[in-house]
Amino acid sequence: MDLCPYFDSCIGNYNRCTSNCMVRKRNIYAGLQQRIGPEYAGPLGVLQALADGTKLLLKENLFPSRRDTRLFSIGPAITVISTLLTYSVIPFAYRFILSDLNMGVFLWIAILSIVPMRLLMSGYESNYKYCF
């Protein structure tokens, strides 16, 4: 039995419900705060998520003025790699294990301990004087 059509319909329904809930939430908040809702971005606010993403990308400068360029470029890669490495230890099913290790839980905790170091690196790389 092919599950792809069912999976696709579930993902589509989830996306529609999520976007509908987001637009409804914005309308409710606009009514509570007595301001104009998200109707300016497309009919009934359908394109509001696209407008929010565009605003997020274009609004602010992405790079701090005083920064360590090397650390600033390595930081996001450390976060993504350490997060994806945690999935290599987790068994997904009885026979579906990416790496069969005897010390799987300890390695999982060790990899997860790398992620908070990224928060310290973000303060250090931007030369913020109160980071430590």
Q: What is the domain partition of the chain in residue ranges?
A: 4-59, 69-125
CA-based nearest residue to 43, from 68, 23, 26, 13: 23
Does the pLDDT at position 130 exceed 80?
A: no
Q: Structure pTM?
A: 0.45
| Phi and psi at residue 91, to the nearest 5° | -80, 125
Q: What is the pLDDT of residue 70?
A: 75
The per-residue pLDDT for range 14-64, each reduced to its tens digit, is 777 887 887 788 778 877 877 665 566 777 667 777 777 787 777 766 666
Helix crossing, 69-86 with 115-125: angle to 10°?
170
Q: What is the pLDDT of residue 7?
A: 63
Phi-psi region of 61 (alpha: psi -120 to 50; beta: other; left: phi over 0): beta
The per-residue pLDDT for range 71-98, each reduced to its tens digit, is 777 778 888 888 888 877 777 777 777 6
Does the pLDDT at position 110 exceed 80?
A: yes
Angle, CA 46 vertex, CA 28 and CA 42 arms, to 5°:
110
